[in-house]
């Protein structure tokens, strides 16, 4: 349901009051950026808010904050049509690099939380090979040294497999679960990485 302009402004004031009281509350900060950029679509006000969110996320060196900020810029559920592309991708690059430095591919930390968001940035930036690599690492981390509850794994797997299928442009499988690319995603050129199944273990 689309909110009226007056309702949006009322919501905005409430969020800003919340931020004034709790400036380090990630939920208020995300709601502020989301409302301005994706609902009101006020780039004049929203972009400085987004820049500050990115800066604070990096300064805090918080994976949760950085992933949440990256989702504001690249998550497919959001409308990014009015965001200036150069600034959007510059912020995405900075966030992605910091996330990968904090949680490097060769490390043992779980990848399933942050790597799909970073993969979306690389995919949108035209680097599907890198996006594929990151999603594969996220899938592998589900069977890493830190056990992932079956319920969480079942929740994460469909989206991870769908992303991998979209970026590869072909069907992929993990155990008995498979995904095919959606029609609105371009296929990876044949010169890209070879297609292969991802089998558990």
In this prediction, residue 108 has a pLDDT band, given cuts at 50, 70 and 90, of confident
Q: Which residues contact 112 (CB under 8 A, 6 or more apart)?
A: 138, 139, 141, 142, 148, 156, 160
For the ranges 75-79, 116-120, 163-167, the lowest mean pLDDT is seen at 75-79
Give the DSSP H or E segment for 33: helix 26-34
Predicted TM-score (pTM) of the model is 0.85
Residue 87 half-sphere exposure, CB side, CA atoms within 13 Å?
A: 14
Mean pLDDT of 46-50: 97
- d(Cα 121, Cα 70) in Å, to the nearest integer? 8
Q: Which residues contact 33 (CB under 8 A, 6 or more apart)?
A: 46, 49, 50, 53, 69, 72
Mean pLDDT of 156-162: 95
CB 128 within 8 A of CB 167: yes
Report pLDDT for 187. Answer: 40
């Amino acid at each position: 349901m689309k909110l009226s302009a007056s309702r949006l402004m009322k919501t905005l004031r409430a969020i800003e009051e919340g931020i004034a009281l709790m400036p380090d509350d990630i939920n208020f900060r995300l709601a502020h950026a989301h409302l301005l950029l994706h609902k009101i679509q006020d780039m004049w006000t929203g972009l400085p808010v987004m820049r500050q969110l990115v800066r604070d996320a990096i300064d805090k060196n918080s994976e949760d904050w950085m992933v949440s900020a990256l989702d504001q810029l690249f998550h497919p559920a959001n409308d990014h049509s009015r965001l200036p592309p150069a600034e959007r991708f510059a912020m995405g690059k900075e966030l992605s690099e910091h996330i990968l430095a904090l949680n490097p591919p060769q490390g043992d930390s779980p990848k399933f939380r942050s790597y799909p968001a970073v993969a979306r940035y690389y995919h949108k930036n035209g680097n599907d090979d890198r996006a594929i690599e990151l999603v594969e690492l996220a899938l592998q981390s589900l069977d890493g040294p830190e056990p992932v509850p079956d319920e969480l794994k079942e929740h994460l797997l469909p989206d991870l497999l769908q992303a991998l299928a979209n970026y590869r442009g072909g069907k992929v499988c993990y155990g008995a679960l498979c995904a095919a690319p959606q029609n609105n995603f371009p296929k990876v050129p044949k010169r890209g990485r070879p297609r292969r199944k991802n089998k558990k273990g």
